Amino acid sequence: MKTEQQYFEEGSTIQVYMENMSTLKEESYEVYENFTLPQDGFAEELKQQKLHFLTITEDWCGDAMVINPVLRKVVEAAGLPMHVALRDADTDLIDRHLTNGGRAIPMVLILNEQGELIGKWGPRAPEVQAMVTEGRAKLPAKEDPTFDEKQKEFYTQLQTKYRTDPAIWAYVYESFKSRLQEIIK
């Protein structure tokens, strides 16, 4: 069984991954270009750490579309590496890091200098999860003939919000920052 460090070493960088996306690429770059990293000293604090990050993701994922570009800005500012493992290419990795029994992505694995797993973050910031949970609760029952249409409409609206709402980006940033601060104390 491969270690998380081996997956990291085999994975592409976040930059190469985003360049080669075939789905949601334009939307991801829209977030990347419009998100401004807060000048709160966190990137400088993070520079002192010998961390590296492995993101389990897929380019069709709406959550990854917003999260990966925000986290990319963080790691670039801190000069730390972030690599990508595709969830569906080898499910062994994601199956070690399930969320409530599911293969939810993106899942960011936080590795120390020795390549040991010291923490993880994902698949959503709590505020975003609450928004998604609330939106799903308003959908009709799955048996309802309008369910598919209403669900598609909800996800389209959510994707637009992910792409355009700086509050979403701030939730992602603050949640990731908070998790890292717990680890590096």
Which single residue is written with the structure tokens 């002192």? 48
Q: pLDDT tens digit string along 24-81?
A: 999 999 999 999 999 999 999 999 999 999 999 999 999 999 999 999 999 999 999 9
For residue 88 the two structure tokens come to: 């569906």
- What is the Cα–Cα distance from 185 to 177, expressed in whole angstroms? 12
Q: What is the pTM of this model?
A: 0.95
Q: What is the pLDDT of residue 185?
A: 82
Domain 4-184 has CATH 3.40.30.10: yes
**Residues in CB range of 67: below 8 A, 6 or more apart:** 106, 122, 123, 124, 172
